[in-house]
C-alpha cells in the first residue's frame, strides 16, 4: 500500500517536470518599470504600449485593494494581444491574488444555469484572507537524542536540545514527536520550527555556525542564521482561500473533494448566505479580510443578454471582483436579442466599463514577438528567415506566423540542421495555407466539395444587400 503511494507521488513529480509551451507561455509579466512606464520589450511582451500602461493602472488599482466592482474591456482586432495582456496581468499580480480565467462560452454548460456559472466564477475571484495565530518553537537543534527500549518494542523517549542566540532549552520528547523529527531527518545543526499545537516540524535550513562541519554539502542545502530571542514565539499565519472554496466545502451535497474534480454542480443560495454572514462576522472581529481578485472573461460577446444584466447587478454588489473582459467584435448583435451594440455588449454595461484598445502591430514589433516565440520553443532561426516570417505575419496574421515557427523547426530538424533558414520557411508557407489563401482556394474549387456552401452564402449575401430587414432575421436564426 505504502509502496504504491510512493510510486504515485513520483509519477506526479515526473509530470511537473515536463514543460509545455502554450500560446502565452513566453509572457512573464506586464513589462513595466518602477514608474509604471512600459518598456518596449520586456517580460515577453512587445509594443502595445498604451494598453500595457493602462493595464499597469489597473494593476495598481487591484493591488491597493480598495476598489471592487470595476470593470475593464479590452477591445481590438484578433491577434493583437488582448488575451496575452490579461495573462500578463495575472502574472504581475502573483499567486496571492485570485485570478479566474473563463471564456464567455463556458457558461453554456448543461450542468448548471448560466447565472450559477457566473456566480461561481465571481466567487472564485474573491479571496478571504484568514489570519491565524499559532505558537511555535523556532531554533537551532543542538542535540537530538533517542532512547530506544532494550526489548526493541514499546515506545521511544528522547530529548531535544534547542537554542537561539540568547537561550537554550531541553525538551522531553514523546513517541509521536520523535517520529515527526525523524521523518524530517532533523540533525544537530538544523534550524527548525515546531508548531506547538499540531507538532508539525518544518526544516528551514542549516545553521551558518555549522557550515564548516562538512566539506561536502549539496547545492540544495540552505544556510540560515541561528534565530534570535525567545525559543517559543507567537506567529501569525495567513491563509488565502476563495469564497468559492468555502462554499464547496460547506455545501453538504458535495464534499470538499469536489474542489479537485471541479464537479461542484449548483450550490444552494442558503449556503452562500450563511457563508456571507460568517465572513462578515470574521471581518468585524478582525479575523479575516476580503480581497477583491480578478475575473477575466475572454470572448465576452459570447455572453447573452441575461448574463449581461446579471453582471450589471453583480458589479454593484459590495463584494465584487474586478472584471476584465476581452472581445474582438465590432458592432454586432447582442446575443439573445436582435439589437446591435458595439462589441456585442449592451450599452448599460459598456457604460460601467473603461475600454482599453489594442492596436495592430508594425512589422518590426511582429519580428520581435516572433523572435521571443522562437526562443521559447528552443528554435534557432536565421535573421533573414525571421524577417521573412515577420513579412508573412504582417500580410496574414501573427498567429499564422507563430505556427510557422513550429512547423519550420520540424522541417529543419528533418534535414538534420540546427538553424531554420529562409528555405524552411518557404517550404512550410507552401505546405500550410493561411486563412486568406484557403478561402481563395475554396472559392475557386467550391464545386468539387460537398455542400458548396460558399455559393449559397454568396447568393444570400446579395439578397441581404437588397433587403436590410432580412439580414436581422438571418442573423438571429443562425446564432441560435
Ligand X SMILES: Nc1ncnc2c1ncn2[C@@H]1O[C@H](COP(=O)(O)OP(=O)(O)OP(=O)(O)O)[C@@H](O)[C@H]1O
Residues found near ligand X in the complex (CB under 6 A): 23-24, 27, 44-48, 76, 78-84, 328, 369, 398-399, 402
Rounded to whole angstroms, how far apart are CA atoms 108 and 124?
18
Q: Residues 6 or more apart from 294 whose CB is under 8 A from it?
A: 62, 89, 90, 93, 97, 98, 99, 100, 125, 321, 322, 323, 324
Tell me how far apart the alpha carbons of residues 142 and 189 are, in angstroms, rounded to a whole number. Answer: 6
3 state SS of 150: coil
- Smallest gap from Cβ 339 to Mg ion, in A, equals 25
CB of 402 to ligand X, least distance (A): 6
Query: Closest distance between ligand X and the C-beta of residue 479, in Å?
Result: 19
Does 341 sit near Mg ion (CB under 5 A)?
no
Residue 19: CB minimum distance to ligand X, A = 16
| Residues forming beta bridges with residue 172, ordered by sequence position | 159
| Residue 430, C-alpha cell as written in the block | 507552401
φ and ψ of 162, to 5 deg: -125, 155
Question: Which residues 65-84 are close enough to bind Mg ion by CB under 5 A?
Answer: 83
Nearest to 26 by CA among 108, 86, 84: 84
Cβ distance to ligand X smaller for residue 290 or 405 = 405
User: Which does residue 346 bind out of ligand X, Mg ion, none, counting CB within 5 to 8 angstroms by kind?
Assistant: none
Q: Which does 71 bind (CB under 5 to 8 A by kind): Mg ion, ligand X, none?
A: none
Nearest residue relative to Mg ion (C-beta): 83
Choice between 80 and 242, CB closer to ligand X: 80
Min CB(393)–ligand X separation in Å: 10
Backbone angles phi, psi at 356, to 5 degrees: -110, 125
Report what 328 binds from ligand X, Mg ion, none; CB cut-off 5-8 Å by kind. ligand X
Q: Which residue of this chain has its Cβ atom nearest to ligand X in the complex? A: 81
Cα torsion angle, 131, 137, 138, 144, sign: negative
Distance CA 307, CA 121 (A): 12
Nearer to Mg ion among residue 298 and residue 365 (C-beta): 298
Q: Tally Cβ neighbours within 10 Å of residue 478.
A: 7
Rounded CA-CA distance 191/203 in Å is 6
Interface characters, 159-178, with Mg ion (x: CB under 5 A) = --------------------
Minimum CB distance to Mg ion, residue 365 (Å)? 18
DSSP assigned state of 19: P
- To ligand X, the closest distance from the beta carbon of 156 in angstroms equals 57
Distance CA 128, CA 117 (A): 20
Identity of the residue, 21 or 23, whose beta carbon is nearer to Mg ion in the bound complex:
23
160 binds, among Mg ion, ligand X, none (CB under 5 to 8 A by kind): none
**Which C-beta is closer to ligand X: that of 84 or that of 324?**
84
Residues that bind Mg ion (CB under 5 A): 83
Amino acid at each position: 500500500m505504502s509502496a504504491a503511494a510512493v510510486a504515485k507521488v513520483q509519477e506526479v513529480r515526473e509530470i511537473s517536470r515536463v514543460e509545455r509551451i502554450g500560446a502565452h507561455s513566453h509572457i512573464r509579466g506586464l513589462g513595466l518599470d518602477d514608474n509604471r512606464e512600459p518598456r518596449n520589450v520586456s517580460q515577453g511582451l512587445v509594443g502595445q504600449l498604451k494598453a500595457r500602461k493602462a493595464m499597469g493602472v489597473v494593476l495598481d488599482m487591484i493591488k491597493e485593494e480598495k476598489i471592487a466592482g470595476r470593470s475593464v474591456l479590452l477591445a481590438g482586432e484578433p491577434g493583437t494581444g488582448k488575451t496575452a495582456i490579461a495573462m500578463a496581468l495575472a502574472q504581475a499580480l502573483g499567486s496571492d491574488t485570485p485570478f479566474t480565467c473563463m471564456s464567455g462560452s463556458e457558461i453554456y454548460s448543461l450542468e448548471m444555469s448560466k447565472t450559477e456559472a457566473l456566480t461561481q466564477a465571481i466567487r472564485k475571484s474573491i479571496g478571504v484572507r484568514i489570519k491565524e495565530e499559532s505558537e511555535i518553537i523556532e531554533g537551532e537543534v543542538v542535540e537530538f537524542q533517542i532512547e530506544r527500549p532494550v526489548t526493541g518494542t514499546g515506545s521511544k523517549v528522547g530529548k531535544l536540545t534547542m537554542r537561539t542566540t540568547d537561550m537554550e532549552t531541553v525538551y522531553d520528547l514523546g513517541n509521536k514527536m520523535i517520529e515527526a523529527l525523524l521523518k524530517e531527518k532533523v540533525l544537530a545543526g538544523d534550524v527548525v520550527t515546531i508548531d506547538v499545537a499540531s507538532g508539525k516540524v518544518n526544516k528551514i535550513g542549516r545553521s551558518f555556525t555549522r557550515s564548516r562541519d562538512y566539506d561536502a554539502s549539496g547545492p540544495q542545502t540552505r544556510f540560515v542564521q541561528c534565530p534570535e530571542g525567545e525559543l517559543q514565539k507567537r506567529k501569525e499565519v495567513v491563509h488565502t482561500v476563495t469564497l468559492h472554496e468555502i462554499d464547496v466545502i460547506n455545501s453538504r451535497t458535495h464534499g470538499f473533494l469536489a474542489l479537485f474534480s471541479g464537479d461542484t454542480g449548483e450550490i444552494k443560495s442558503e449556503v452562500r448566505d450563511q457563508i456571507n454572514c460568517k465572513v462578515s462576522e470574521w471581518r468585524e472581529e478582525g479575523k479575516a479580510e476580503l480581497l477583491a481578485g480578478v475575473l477575466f472573461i475572454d470572448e465576452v460577446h459570447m455572453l447573452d443578454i441575461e448574463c449581461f444584466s446579471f453582471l450589471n447587478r453583480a458589479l454593484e454588489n459590495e463584494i465584487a471582483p474586478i472584471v476584465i473582459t476581452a472581445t474582438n467584435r465590432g458592432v454586432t448583435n447582442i446575443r439573445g436579442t436582435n439589437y446591435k451594440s458595439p462589441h456585442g455588449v449592451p450599452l448599460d454595461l459598456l457604460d460601467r466599463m473603461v475600454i482599453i484598445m489594442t492596436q495592430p502591430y508594425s512589422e518590426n514589433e511582429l519580428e520581435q514577438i516572433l523572435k521571443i516565440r522562437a526562443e521559447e520553443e528552443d528554435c534557432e532561426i536565421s535573421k533573414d528567415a525571421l524577417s521573412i516570417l515577420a513579412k508573412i505575419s504582417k500580410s496574414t496574421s501573427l498567429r499564422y506566423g507563430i505556427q510557422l515557427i513550429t512547423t519550420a523547426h520540424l522541417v529543419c530538424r528533418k534535414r538534420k540542421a540546427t538553424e531554420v533558414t529562409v528555405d524552411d520557411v518557404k517550404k512550410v508557407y507552401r505546405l500550410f495555407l493561411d486563412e486568406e489563401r484557403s478561402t481563395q482556394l475554396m472559392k475557386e474549387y467550391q464545386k468539387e466539395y460537398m455542400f458548396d456552401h460558399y455559393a449559397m452564402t454568396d447568393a444570400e449575401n446579395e439578397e441581404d444587400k437588397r433587403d436590410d430587414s432580412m439580414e436581422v432575421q438571418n442573423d438571429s436564426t443562425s446564432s441560435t
